[in-house]
Structure 1
Amino acid sequence: MHVRVVRFTDVSAERIAGLLARIEAAGGPPPGVAATGLQILFDEAQGTAIALQQFDTAEAMHAGGKVFAAMDSAETPGTRASVDLCEQKLELRM
């Protein structure tokens, strides 16, 4: 599995709420994005958020990244601070 990890700053509770509503209304990823999972983490006290976008392959992750990079900043939870393209090596749930 591959995970695109995107960190945002300048995030408000209102922007997160709007983003979550848009995601739920869409019922899936945007066209051209073959994501298999999504997690959004929000630290209201710091005004930061992290999006974990999961993909089956590195190729799908890179293609999806191009779609996300082209999005209008109004469609994101805040200012994109960093993007990491990772291969998941371990998932451990207790």
Structure 2
Amino acid sequence: MYVRIARFEGGDLADADKAIERVRNMTQENRPPGLEGATRLLMLVDRENGRGLGMTFFETEEAMRKGDQALNQMSPGDQGGRRTGVEMYEVGLDQNFSR
């Protein structure tokens, strides 16, 4: 499993609920083109400081690279603030503690 992590600052992240709803609406109906290989999306928000992380998970490195190209073409727009960084990792451990 692989993950692409994008960092964001500003925009509607100062109102995290608005940012969450915007991303939910964008992805709920259909996956954006290029993200067919994505398996999961997590959005982490720092409400106090107006920052966030978008974590997109993929089964293969190839799917992650394709998804990265697609996501790099998407602009966060004025509401989304600015993308301050992108990092990609292989998931070393995915431990589920629920029974």
Cα deviation code 1:29-74 (max 9, x no counterpart): 2112110111111111110111110001111101111111011232
1:4 aligns to 2:4 (yes or no): yes
- Structure 2 partner of 1:35: 38
Q: Counterparts of 1:78 and 1:66 in 2: how far apart (Å)?
A: 20
Q: Counterparts of 1:15 and 1:8 in 2: how far apart (Å)?
A: 11
- Give the aligned length: 92
Q: Counterparts of 2:75 and 2:86 in 1: how far apart (Å)?
A: 16
Relative to structure 1, is the Cα distance of residues 88 and 52 closer, same or farther in structure 2, using a 3 angstrom cutoff?
same
Q: Counterparts of 2:57 and 2:7 in 1: how far apart (Å)?
A: 15
- Structure 1: stretches of 5+ with no match in the other structure: none
Q: Would you say the 8 A contact 1:6–1:84 is kept in 2?
A: yes
Q: Would you say the 8 A contact 2:14–2:48 is kept in 1?
A: no
- TM-score, normalized by length of structure 1? 0.84
Relative to structure 1, is the Cα distance of residues 75 and 37 closer, same or farther in structure 2, using a 3 angstrom cutoff?
farther
Q: Counterparts of 2:79 and 2:63 in 1: how far apart (Å)?
A: 20
- Structure 2 partner of 1:92: 95
Select which of 10, 15, 20 maps to 2:19. Answer: 15
Q: Would you say the 8 A contact 2:7–2:53 is kept in 1?
A: yes
